[in-house]
Amino acid sequence: MAASGSFVIRPAVEADTSLLSRFIHELAEYEKLSHEAIVPEKLLRESLFGKLPSAYAIIGEHDSKPVSFAIYFFNFSTFLSRRGLYLEDLYVKPEMRGHGFGKQLLVHLAKIARDNECGRFEWAVLDWNEPAIGFYKKLGAKPQDEWTVFRLERDGIERLAVSEK
């Protein structure tokens, strides 16, 4: 299905902080994780646009209206001895899906990875999100079944930080 009008991808700017916050809340709702989406705008602004950004964001606009976003950061592979691009989140508004905007965002990010000589371009997807899994496989992405993701959240970080040997 083709969308009429134009689709443009641009870097997010500080003035987009509220928009990004709204998109993040919409994504959290879709992923059934609204209870985890805190997103203080001041912290989001500092993390993306402060003196030392932790991540970067791009906005997709259709007919000059924001309809999608992606947030990514650079990580490092010790085995490859080079950095990689990690896609933290990608979101297209539900009514705008099926127009190829998600693929265009991924192509844009692949170019960023290529231009930064990244050895990998990775992301995670929820196990139940079959439409996304199928889409990523069609692009040639391969699931990494041999790896299990572990996570410490803030309370776990604190407990470990103060623990004895």
Query: Is 56 a catalytic site residue?
Result: no
pLDDT tens by residue, 24-55: 999 999 998 889 888 899 999 999 999 999 99
pLDDT for residue 4 is more than 70? no
SS (HEC) of the chain: CCCCCCEEEEECCHHHHHHHHHHHHHHHHHCCCHHHCCCCHHHHHHHHHCCCCCCEEEEEEECCEEEEEEEEEEEEECCCCEEEEEEEEEEECHHHCCCCHHHHHHHHHHHHHHHCCCCCEEECCCCCCHHHHHHHHHCCCCCCCCCCCCCCCHHHHHHHHHCCC
pLDDT tens by residue, 90-105: 999 999 999 999 999 9
pLDDT tens by residue, 118-131: 999 999 999 999 99
Pick the CATH number of 7-162 from 3.40.630.30, 3.40.47.10, 3.40.50.720, 1.10.3720.10: 3.40.630.30
